[in-house]
Structure 1
Amino acid sequence: MNTSVIYALAAAALFGASTPLAKVLGAEVPPVLLAGLLYLGSGVGLVLVRCLRDRGWKSSGLPAGEWPWLVGAILFGGVLGPVALMFGLTRTSGATASLMLNLEPVLTALLAWVVFKENADRRIVLGMLAIIAGGLVLSWPTGHTPDVSQSWLGPIAVAFACLCWAMDNNLTRKVSASDSLYIAGSKGLFAGLVNCTVAFTLGAQWVPVQVLTPTLLIGFLGYGVSLVLFVLALRGLGAARTGAYFSTAPFLGAAISILVLGESVSLLFWLAAAFMLFGVWLHLTESHAHQHQHQPLEHTHRHTHDEHHQHEHDGDEPAGIAHSHTHQHAPIQHSHPHFPDIHHRHTH
């Protein structure tokens, strides 16, 4: 299995697990503040990990041309998206909002294919639709849910939040070759500060330490480490495929709820599982190959010397050992199976 696929599924598993784990805490934290604390745990934890890794604070190393993409990703994913969702949740039912959140992978894929020109064949489109169908089945209301909708503004706000996160996913793809800890940590800090500010503005009170500590830890794992893995998956798969794999998060979260919390299994759960497994299988068995041209490129990321990395070194790094430095790619034309990764962002 491709390493990037493992990253994407692991990211989905960690994010999906964060909901039942938060439920285990039994903490009565307002939703907006809870989101802020989870994001804050993500950002603070990743910044500390990065400082430990680099033995102190180190500059981002982000090329000047990539800063607009990162700022845009933080703006859409860490500021506009969460605020729009919280606004929408006050004006629509939970069932409606849950169903509408399935728009995110659809919009991510559409933006990736239409705006950012990622390739998509019938197999990938069908696989994505199967995974989304599983999400719809899993979130479909099984009983009477009171309609708390006050106007069309609620659903529109939730849809806008999904569009913001779809933009976030595609913009993050643009910087995915850079330091994933810095990217994920920055997004976590901004999203955490924004959500906490909104929560306190709405009258939320600070939570006790015995609730705060595990909440931050769940945020670090379920939002922080998950986002690092998501960025690594974007590096190797592109936005549309990564978004599709990540859409399995609700199913994985439900599975953990069944195993950890002993919740009952419904027929809808198994139907959703069948849809999602079919979609993942379609993606795993994809084979995309054609003659393609690589344009000159200079960037920095962890790599070994393969057919795409045939450059000289100033240092003494062995060719078979993974290492990271700024390197150039000469133009090359060849054919081999590939994904829309950081080296294959060509048109079709």
Structure 2
Amino acid sequence: MKALDFSPSVLAALGAAALFGASTPLAKLLVEGLSPFLLAGLLYLGSGLGLSLVRLIRDRGWKPTGLPAAEWPWLLGAIASGGIAGPVLLMAGLAQTSAATASLLLNLEAVLTAVLAWVVFRENADRRIVLGMVLIVAGGVLLSVPASGEATTDLAGPVLIAAACLAWAVDNNLTRKVSASDALFIAGTKGLVASAANLGMALFLGASLPATSILLPAMLVGFLGYGVSLVLFVLALRGLGAARTGAYFSTAPFIGAALAILLLGEPTSLSFWLASALMATGVWLHLTERHEHEHSHEALEHHHRHLHDAHHQHAHDFEWDGREPHAHPHHHPALTHKHAHYPDIHHRHKH
């Protein structure tokens, strides 16, 4: 029997899904009745402001981002696709689509993320990972199917929601390109841009800000469910790659449904338990993956938090207190070796 892998990256991916999944029933409890754009804007605002504050406290003031010049186009592309285009397309689609159909279509994000990762960005995936992804997404689809058989005959709404999922899939894969950099900065910047886009649209359409008793709890939910969740998502991208992170993250609907049952007293159904079994099997396939072969690393220079493991055997040209993990620009010489690995920031090689 294969051992389960609960590495920090796997735990980060599952933690991101748990926080994001929890944000849906919590938001329903706190801010029911707000316009979709205003709600999205408040959630993203809590994420952007909260993470920016955490970063200022951590760094004891403002410090340069440390993002290499070559990675700025990737980050800007991710923000444009996931922080601006995605929410706008989703809200436009929701206006023409039933909630049940929309929930079903949102499962496309994980599929499109994986397809782009495998086909466009050449991320490795074996049959075990593909089957796990299929089972997790099948569970999400089953969880989203309305009991009444509700459907929509208008194609405009579903097409817009599918386009939003594609935008977020592009965002996920572009964010993978910058995932070695400061996760707080990446997630905080996305939150600020997305909040500006959504709040701007809400105010343009005539919405007004709610009372403080609603505003602050909504921003807190956004900080945890969108902000901290996105930080964990970026850390998972760093260690797992886009396809595997997307698969773990697609368990969020199950987590949200489970919390809705606990917090809101919503009834369970046979489809809920079948979806749970499918998702659990898919996650198990991923947790028991072992990918090992001889591979070569090209020489590389980058900047991220690291331990002095097999990939970080370097000297320091500055005074070091011996604490790990730590971050600084460092050089990786060319190296060929064999060990179990994921398609992380050090293993983006061809097979």
Q: TM class by shorter-chain length?
A: over 0.9
Q: Matches of 2:251 and 2:203 in 1, distance apart?
A: 32
Deviations 1:263-314 (A, max 9, x none): 2211111111000000000000000011111001000111111111111112
Q: Which of 58, 70, 73 is the matching residue for 1:65?
A: 70
Shift of 1:260: 2.2
Give the TM-score, by structure 2 length: 0.96
Shift of 1:97: 1.5
Q: Which of 39, 47, 55 is the matching residue for 2:44?
A: 39
Q: Matches of 1:74 and 1:136 in 2, distance apart?
A: 27
- Asked if 1 retains the 8 angstrom alpha-carbon contact of 2:101 and 2:150, the reply is no
CA 1:243–1:315: 2 relative to 1, 3 Å: same
Q: Say whether residues 1:140 and 2:145 are aligned partners.
A: yes
Give the TM-score, by structure 1 length: 0.97
CA 1:314–1:155: 2 relative to 1, 3 Å: same
Q: Which of 221, 226, 231 is the matching residue for 1:228?
A: 231
Q: Matches of 1:190 and 1:29 in 2, distance apart?
A: 20
Residue type matched to 1:71 in 2?
L
Matched residue, 1:213:
216
Q: Say whether residues 1:268 and 2:271 are aligned partners.
A: yes
- SS of the aligned residue for 1:305 comes to coil
Residue type matched to 1:326 in 2?
P
Residue type matched to 2:47 in 1?
S
Q: Which of 78, 82, 94 is the matching residue for 1:89?
A: 94
Matched residue, 1:193:
196
Q: Matches of 2:155 and 2:22 in 1, distance apart?
A: 32
Q: Matches of 2:57 and 2:189 in 1, distance apart?
A: 16
Q: Which of 217, 229, 249 is the matching residue for 2:252?
A: 249
Matched residue, 1:24:
29
Flag structure 1 segments of 5+ consecutive residues without an equivalent. none
Matched residue, 1:309:
312
Q: Matches of 1:270 and 1:279 in 2, distance apart?
A: 14
Shift of 1:319: 5.9
Shift of 1:320: 6.9
Shift of 1:59: 1.3
Residue type matched to 1:125 in 2?
V
- Asked if 2 retains the 8 angstrom alpha-carbon contact of 1:289 and 1:337, the reply is yes
Matched residue, 2:3:
none
- SS of the aligned residue for 2:308 comes to coil
Q: Say whether residues 1:11 and 2:11 are aligned partners.
A: no
CA 1:135–1:85: 2 relative to 1, 3 Å: same
- Asked if 2 retains the 8 angstrom alpha-carbon contact of 1:236 and 1:341, the reply is yes
Shift of 1:261: 2.3
**Larger CA deviation: 16-25 vs 177-186:** 16-25
Residue type matched to 1:192 in 2?
S
Matched residue, 1:74:
79
Over the residues paired in the alignment, what is the CA RMSD in angstroms?
A: 1.2
Residue type matched to 2:77 in 1?
G
